[in-house]
Amino acid sequence: MTANRRIVFLIGLLLAGSPAGAWAAGNSANGEKLFKKCAACHSVAPGKKKVGPSLHGVLGRTAGSAEGYRYSKAMTAYGRSGIVWDADTLDVYLEAPRKVVKGTKMSFPGFKKAQDRADVIAFLKQYSE
């Protein structure tokens, strides 16, 4: 195996174990079922806020910046720090929201299983393209 092939192989192994790798393997149909836990407070319809902001277009959006939603000071500061929601940042946040953003209004304890987070992220991806 050439050096270039070894490098490509190692990068592939790293990505397979990363949150982005898990996200790529997410099952959006299962994510839709899991999203029911989120749907009490969030919608995926454009601009439809509930207790929480609409998650339509969340991937690629700066944290704490959905138009027309009043965020906690903690989430606004989190967004101002440069956090943009992508597979990696959502994976970390969805595991333990209140630990990641101390002072967030979100009371959901999180999805402890990595596959559940990957599935929810795959579901949200459909509404972020």
Looking at residue 87, its pLDDT comes to 97
Query: 70: domain range?
Result: 3-125
Question: What is the number of structural domains in the chain?
Answer: 1
The CATH number of residue 105's host domain is 1.10.760.10
Whether the per-residue pLDDT at 17 is higher than 50: the answer is no
Helix/strand/coil for 25: coil
Whether the per-residue pLDDT at 5 is higher than 80: the answer is no
pTM: 0.80
Looking at residue 84, its pLDDT comes to 98
C-beta of residue 53 within 8 angstroms of C-beta of residue 72: no
Average pLDDT, the chain: 86
- Comparing C-alpha atoms, which of 45, 82, 30, 91 is closest to residue 61? 82
* Both structure tokens of 106: 């979100």
Question: How does pLDDT run across 104-118, given as a tens digit for each residue?
Answer: 999 999 999 999 999
Amino acid at 50: K
Question: How does pLDDT run across 49-98, given as a tens digit for each residue?
Answer: 999 999 999 999 999 999 999 999 999 999 999 999 999 999 999 999 99
Kindly give, in sequence order, each residue whose CB lies less than 8 Å from that of residue 52, ignoring residues fewer than 6 positions away.
41, 42, 69, 105, 106
CB atoms under 10 Å from CB of 114, counted, come to 15
